[in-house]
Structure 1
Amino acid sequence: MAAPSVVVIGAGQAGSDTAAALRSQGFGGRITLVGAEGVLPYQRPPLSKQFLAGARSVADLALRPASFHTERDIEFVGRDPAVRLDRNGNRVTLASGRTLGYQHLVLAVGARARRLPVPGARLDGVLTLRTLTDAGRLRDRMRDTGRLLVIGGGFVGLEVAATARAAGLAVTVVEFGPRLLARAVSGAMSAHLLAEHRAHGVRVLLSREVTALHGDGAGRVCEAELDGGERIAADLVVVGIGALPDVGLAAEAGLAVGDGILVDGHLRTSDPAVYAIGDCARFPSPHTGRPLRLESVQNASDQARCVAAALCGTPRPYAALPWFWTEQYGLRLQIAGIGTGHDRVVTLGDPGAGRFSLLCFRGNRLLATESVNRPADHMITRRLMGAGAPLPTPREAAAPGFGFKAFQEAAAV
């Protein structure tokens, strides 16, 4: 009888962590990790920060050395993306024509940067940031740039803006919505981030839309046109308006999709032999009571371990607590939980001093803690939520002298 085999499509955080977790949890069969890029799996968060600033090299970004795969008998196939999935024959065809048989397949295919749908979006100097190649191109172009326009006030856009401003560039951020990071943080945190960027000299325009990009005679972008006709000069434009899950392979194979590859509570697709994880997967979240698609290192890694456990014979529903972080200037924002739908915010600490936490409640239930340079609040929230322990109510959190550490000690967690 042939040894069981697992093929992992996608060599980002989720895919790499799946292969590693399979071996660490005792899987003895064949593991093949397939990537579209010609480099070893790497960390993505530094691309918009330390790598873009020149503080980290390509080698510094590797998740694991090449020897890791060799020593654990994991076959890594780079620069050869999957192009077809035959679910009846349990085979994957790669761009090279090579076919891989599998007993179980893990789709960790990620997402691609959303393109700006306006005239001029294909001009030279209009870039997105998703991959190492993207980041290298942007870093090279920033060296000869004086004026940078960032379209989109999400995590990537704001991190690029902060990095570029620290490098001395004149930076403008244009956000279509009424506030920054509107889908990820509370209104109070949006306002704090807005003030931080403006204090560092970034021009931030809210509720504005780029309607066209214009180029010079050489075909290189030189300005952006906004709704109302205003024009902003720019030598370089970074489009950070979100990402689209890569569902093409799954959809062509007849798997259920819809803003991601649809999976159940165990991360199985509509085909029980096929799992989907990471940025491409839309899964039922016990923390929100609705399906989610999350783009975060935490989600990718935790889902990888969950699938590995299932393939090693110890299945469990995916219930990991979502958490996120971003670094901009000297500000480290950490978010534990998902605050969507909150109706009250309690502040701990002093926003004016740059060290505080915002506790987001719906009714008496704590949904999320947003912490700026207060890592203890973040870690304790994660610990309490992860353990299903009692959480503070708005009244308790707003009481004079409240602190997470004392609350945790009282809860004996």
Structure 2
Amino acid sequence: MIIYIHSSFVVATKTSERFIAAKMKFLLVTLLAAVASAAFAPLRTARERIEGSYIVVLKDGESLTDAVKTLKSSPKFSSFKGRINKVYGSVINGFSATLNEQALGFVRSLDNVKYVEEDGIVRASSVASWGLGRIDQRYLPLDHIYNPPGTGAGVTVNVIDTGITYTHVDFGGRAEPGFDFAGGSGEDCNGHGTHCAGTVGGRTYGVAKCVTLKSVRVLNCFGSGTFSDVIAGVDFTARDCGGGRCVASMSLGGSKSSSVDNAVANAVSKGVVVVVSAGNRNDTACNYSPAGEPTAITVGATQSDDKRSFFSNYGSCVDLFAPGSAITSAWYLSETDSNTISGTSMACPHVAGAAALLLQRGVSAGDVKSTIVSEATKGVVINPGSCSPNEFLYVE
């Protein structure tokens, strides 16, 4: 009995040892996985990702120059065929890069990396002018007269878009090159940017008829682009005119992007008034970038009868509405060409022009957004959408 009991005890002990060993192994693997996961910077996804293209954001206080230099000289980074593309520095502490799976893992393992985000697609917010006559009167019917309270002289509006046709007669020599993602001159090969620039500051079609218009080309000839190029355009704008009397007009958008939103917020903190289109999906604007960034002025679109345009995004992230359906403005095919199109893209430059008028009036960059909203006409937008403010642009 004693031997049997002892034997039973020994068997039980071996079984227990096996159980404990298996459990310890499981816990060790789990712990190692957790440690490995914790050691990697977070990877943020994009709805429409660009294969192999990423935005790398460093931790606060980390040297961007040192980080880029170290990576470029790293044999491991080179062996993984990693490539650094655009280096930012003004609006986000980071860079864009082309990375395969190994290079991505290597970059995410670096101690100075805050997060990595998949690069994604952005598009022009198109689906030009009764709009001018509407924004300087409180209520319908339209009088088809526009008497602006200023001209925007001395203010620069950076049109972050498809470029500008500089020689168009409506610009009177006030349009100039700024930045081109493709390394070109910033000339428009799509029309969208020229149209928006015309609404901002064209002699015939513009809200602020004497502003300086600067081309910041971040979208291609098809009207699409990438998060990384949009950030580069915002980065240029912050360096080029931050602290001066400057507006950024961004009639574009994509899926939610922390990097794009952070870039816009940092540009605003540097004194740039940023105006963005709400988007054309008849959806809440909060789901998109840069429309959902709270420091920007986000603009929804209306028709000539004051109804919200059927395509316009809406919701709590929209700050106000402006004319956006059937807007006539300058076009890119000739020096005298015009076109009539619709979109929140067309609403955005109305507000960008109004922002330029306020800066000329002496309103500080930090107060432009609150002034535009406080001076807006209340309660005239029909069916503004769930949680939308019923505010309509008014220029006085």
TM over 0.5: no
**Larger Rg, first or second structure (1 or 2):** 2
Q: Which has the higher contact order (CA 8 A, sep 6+)?
A: 2
Bigger helix share: 2
* Bigger strand share: 1
TM, length-normalised to structure 2: 0.29
